[in-house]
Chain A
Amino acid sequence: MGVSVAVLLTLWELAVAVFQPRPSILPPPSRIVEQALLHAPELAEHTLATLIVTLAGFTCSLAFSWAVAITVDFNDTLRRAITPLLVASQTIPIIAIAPLMILWFGFGLLPKVLLVVLVTFFPMLLGLIEAFRATPSGKAELLASMGATRWQQFRFLRLPQAIPAFFTSLRIAVTYAVVGAIFAEYAGSTAGLGVYMAVQKNAFRTDLVLAAVATTAAVSITLFALAVLAERLVAPWALRVRQDTAGRRR
């Protein structure tokens, strides 16, 4: 992957050198890097703002989705009532609500955090509910034959077997969270990479817009990597199981 990125950047650099478009249309990578370094302090400041929104929203989502998913797992009626709503919620373009959130809650931290929550909460909750539900019936019957209570079923089986699927939705959701935060800032804010991009675009500073884009990508990749690392620490067995299921078995 590193090689292909390097090749792409080199081609881009060469193309700009040959065709010489205006820098406001397409600056070369070297210029983006140069300008990014030059504006590093303000980029860092805005990145931090975005990161705070992302992590605050994501943490709320994580806590809420676990709380709701566990409650729902112990209450079948509730699960049947809630699941169709969750599936339907997946079709709503939550990003499109961003301007409304600004309208309702102003330019502070709240609307942005709320948007990140909205973007990540539903997919994670749905993922968790489904993951608990995907408990193999053979294993559940084995536990039942041992006389396990409902709580023991959850503790010994439903929870641990849901971990790999949970981390899959976590990895996806954490990148959604960054996009959600940027978009909320884009819609209206005083700080953050989204605002920075909007401002630089209006000033025709394409190089700085792209520098912010690159920073966003770097943040997303870092969070994604952290999620992978967390899975390795929490559930070291999950990786092997996934390889197994992808490979020989079923």
Chain B
Amino acid sequence: MNAPILQVQNLSHHYPDGTATLDALSFDLHEAEVVSLIGPSGCGKSTLLRVLLGLEQPTTGQVTLRPGTPEHPFAYYAQDDNLFEWRTVVDNAALGLDVARRNRAASRALVRAMLLEFGLDGFGDHFPSQLSGGMRQRTALLRTVAQHRPILLLDEPFSALDALTRSDLNTWLRDAATRHGWTILLVTHDQAEARFLSHRIIELSARPASVVGVSTAKDRMAVAVSSRDGITPVPADLQSSALGPSARRGVWTTLKRLDDFTARRKCSVLNVADSEIVVD
């Protein structure tokens, strides 16, 4: 396997008042991989994203990018679609390109060429207020993808939508991600969504978030690993001694290559809380 495009090592963050949000968090992300970070509400997932985006500074630990990755590798998609009401669909989608001072006509052309795939054909000149909830989200997604950054950082996408639209969009997102080989770091609190979309799920403890609960996790530190490559080695960062003995109480499921989505849905996640298995 190639070097991961993103490596997060021992990342901790607390606010000046001492509130800890992240605790020695370690994980990695490979190219064309969809990884979900899942955890209870308020566990610090959003803080992690803010740290990755450079909007917050980590207290300790580091984020390493594979050499050759641009300095700002992330295209960010927030919980809210955050569409600009004064911009049309095309102009909204081209926002990141405008910020990057790309040629206006060229960026509009680039975005227009993508409308069809995003189910927005014929709506390029509409304003956000004229769109349905699902179309708004797709516009926001197009805006994220159009930035052409190596990693898509999705923070609870579609969480504001009704169940039906949401499941449609998830199906669409999964197919598009596979088709284009998008590298996605997805943050969600929805188990089913994480299972449906991702190759690998990293479950976080309650706040302060840590992958396997080095300091605070008791039984919440479930990690399930599925892979497209059959037998999956336990990621190196999770074997590291830095995580302490409690890390070993995680449950590791290695899965056969499962192209079939239903099968993957059944087997890809195992929760420690349900099983109490201690792996030595």
Contacts and interface: CB of A to CB of B under 8 A. Distances in A.
B185 to A, nearest CB: 13
Interface string B84-104: 111000000001101110000
A156 B76 contact: no
Contact of B99 (A146, A161, A235, A237): A146
Nearest to A163: B86
Nearest to B50: A141
Contact-residue size bin, chain B (C-beta under 8 Å from the other chain): 20 to 34
Contacts of A148: 99
B80 interface: yes
A110 B235 CA distance: 77
A146 B95 contact: yes
B78 A142 contact: yes
Q: Which of A143, A146, A148 has the most CB of B within 10 A?
A: A146
Contacts of B127: 237, 240
B53 interface: yes
Nearest to A244: B129
B147 interface: yes
B74 A145 contact: yes
Interface string A118-149: 00000000000000000010110111111110
A92 B130 CA distance: 44
Given A145-B74, A152-B99, A138 B82 contact: yes
A241 interface: yes
A144 B78 CA distance: 12
A157 interface: yes
Given A240-B129, A244-B129, A146 B100 contact: yes
B72 interface: yes
Contact of B147 (A146, A160, A238, A240): A146
Contacts of B80: 138
A160 B78 contact: no
Given A144-B55, A146-B99, A240-B127, A160 B74 contact: no
A238 B86 CA distance: 8
Interface in A219-241: 235, 237-238, 240-241
Given A237-B85, A237-B127, A156 B95 contact: yes
B84 A160 contact: yes
Contacts of B100: 146-147
Q: Which of A136, A145, A156 has the most CB of B within 10 A?
A: A145
A147 to B, nearest CB: 5
A237 B85 CA distance: 7
Q: Which of B72, B82, B153 has the most CB of A within 10 A?
A: B82
Q: Which of A142, A147, A241 has the most CB of B within 10 A?
A: A142
Q: Which of B74, B78, B79 has the most CB of A within 10 A?
A: B78
Contacts of A241: 85, 129
Contacts of B95: 142-143, 146, 156
Interface of A: 136, 138-139, 141-148, 152, 156-157, 160-161, 163, 235, 237-238, 240-241, 244
24 contacts: A138-B78, A138-B79, A139-B82, A141-B53, A141-B55, A142-B82, A143-B99, A145-B53, A145-B74, A145-B153, A146-B96, A147-B72, A156-B84, A156-B95, A160-B84, A160-B86, A161-B84, A161-B86, A237-B85, A238-B85, A240-B127, A240-B130, A241-B129, A244-B129
Closest 7 CB pairs of A and B: A145-B76, A146-B99, A240-B129, A160-B86, A146-B96, A148-B99, A241-B85
Given A138-B79, A152-B99, A161-B86, 16 more contacts: A138-B82, A141-B55, A141-B76, A142-B78, A145-B75, A146-B76, A146-B96, A146-B147, A147-B100, A156-B98, A157-B84, A235-B86, A237-B127, A238-B85, A240-B85, A241-B85
